[in-house]
Structure 1
Amino acid sequence: MGRRSARVLLVDARERVLLLRLAGTAGQEPLWMTPGGGVRRFESLAAAAARELWEETGLRVPAKALGAPVAWTGGHADLGWRSGYFEDHFFYHRVEAHAVDPRHREAHESQAIAEDRWWSPAELAAAAEPVAPLGLAGLLPELLAGHRPATPVRLPWHH
């Protein structure tokens, strides 16, 4: 049993994407990833993405403002706390600016998220630590140029 996740590629007016650094646990290295998380039962992907964005960053966005997903990835993984088939669906949202507010994070999110940082496309392309989803450095410039895909782009699985 895996899970479906809804995540947000949040980009500011300086064309930087927000990533959260997950602290490495035993046997795992740190990982930078987009805000987002698991889809609850009977919850739409967009509603889950909006809820997770609020919890992890303090930014409230109506689910309908997120539009349709722009990318997805999926595959099998054993993360210790859950194993099986996982899918991550990515929404794209622009803001003028946003200061991350961690006060709404669930306890496990507060423990897992070590820091947040806005990344330029150049910094993303040169990242020394792992970034998920794989392929984000190639997708971001297309989105910034206004090329929103008609159907979600399939990105490589990152586990």
Structure 2
Amino acid sequence: MKELSCIPPWNRSMAVRRGEVGLIPRPSARVVLIDGADRLLLFSSRDQRHGIVRWYTPGGGVQTGESHQEAALRELHEETGLTGVALGPEVWRGRPWVTERDGVVYEVRQRYYVARVRAFEIDTARMEDFEKTSIIGHRWWTAQELAGTDDLLRPAGLPHLFAVLLVEGPPVHPVLVSG
């Protein structure tokens, strides 16, 4: 296997697809956090290469010995300050995707759990340093606002997924999503 740093940036994704670079599995847990006004909490980051802002649900990597549900609740606490959340079922499951951080290539596999809460003031004081430097904002979104934005939303199809979740409730089996 080649070291990722030995491969020019423009060839890295092809090297991963050809199996020249090993992938490190990165299980991840995210929370579809909905408040009493049926608004969804999303965080935003700016893609350093293209300057594009993308919005996504709270969550992050599963630590060794931790279940996806435990990771979801820990991440929710770190990113929002919220505790005592009754985590609902897994509603979406992400197709694997590849990312690179600090020269390491990860295969991310996300699970999304739903939770309903009262509106609250977001407290980001417990975020990790990486999150503090990469997350540029957060806000609560209505289904109508999601449907009307041109911003990049993750997972792909989020406006439709969220609208269906509000109307039909959690699916019997997690819906497969991209991004």
Structure 1: gaps of 5 or more residues: none
In the aligned structure 1, how far is the partner of 2:31 from the partner of 2:163?
A: 16
In the aligned structure 1, how far is the partner of 2:106 from the partner of 2:134?
A: 21
- Amino acid in structure 2 at the alignment position of 1:105: M
Task: Please list, as runs of the form range in 1=range in 2, the aligned pairs for 1:117-136 lying within 5 A after superposition.
Answer: 117-136=139-158
In the aligned structure 2, how far is the partner of 1:123 from the partner of 1:79?
A: 31
Q: Larger relative CO (CA 8 A, sep 6+): 1 or 2?
A: 1
Structure 2: gaps of 5 or more residues: 1-23
Task: Please list, as runs of the form range in 1=range in 2, the aligned pairs for 1:10-159 lying within 5 A after superposition.
Answer: 10-27=33-50, 29-62=52-85, 65-81=86-102, 82-155=104-177, 157-158=178-179
Instruction: Determine the structure 2 residue equivalent to 1:4.
Output: 27
The two structures have a TM-score, normalised by structure 2, of 0.80
CA distance 1:74–1:61, shift in 2 (3 Å): farther
Deviates more, 1:140-149 or 1:65-74: 140-149
In the aligned structure 1, how far is the partner of 2:76 from the partner of 2:160?
A: 23
In the aligned structure 2, how far is the partner of 1:30 from the partner of 1:75?
A: 21
Which has the larger Rg?
2
SS in 1 for 2:89: coil
In the aligned structure 2, how far is the partner of 1:56 from the partner of 1:49?
A: 10
1:68 Cα deviation after fit: 2.5
1:127 Cα deviation after fit: 1.8
For the 8 Å contact 1:58–1:102, the answer to whether it is kept is yes
The two structures have a TM-score, normalised by structure 1, of 0.89
1:124 Cα deviation after fit: 0.7
Q: What is the CA RMSD across the aligned residues, in angstroms?
A: 1.6
What is the number of equivalent residue pairs in this alignment?
155
1:125 Cα deviation after fit: 1.2
In the aligned structure 2, how far is the partner of 1:67 from the partner of 1:11?
A: 11
1:141 Cα deviation after fit: 1.8
For the 8 Å contact 2:43–2:56, the answer to whether it is kept is yes
In the aligned structure 2, how far is the partner of 1:10 from the partner of 1:134?
A: 17
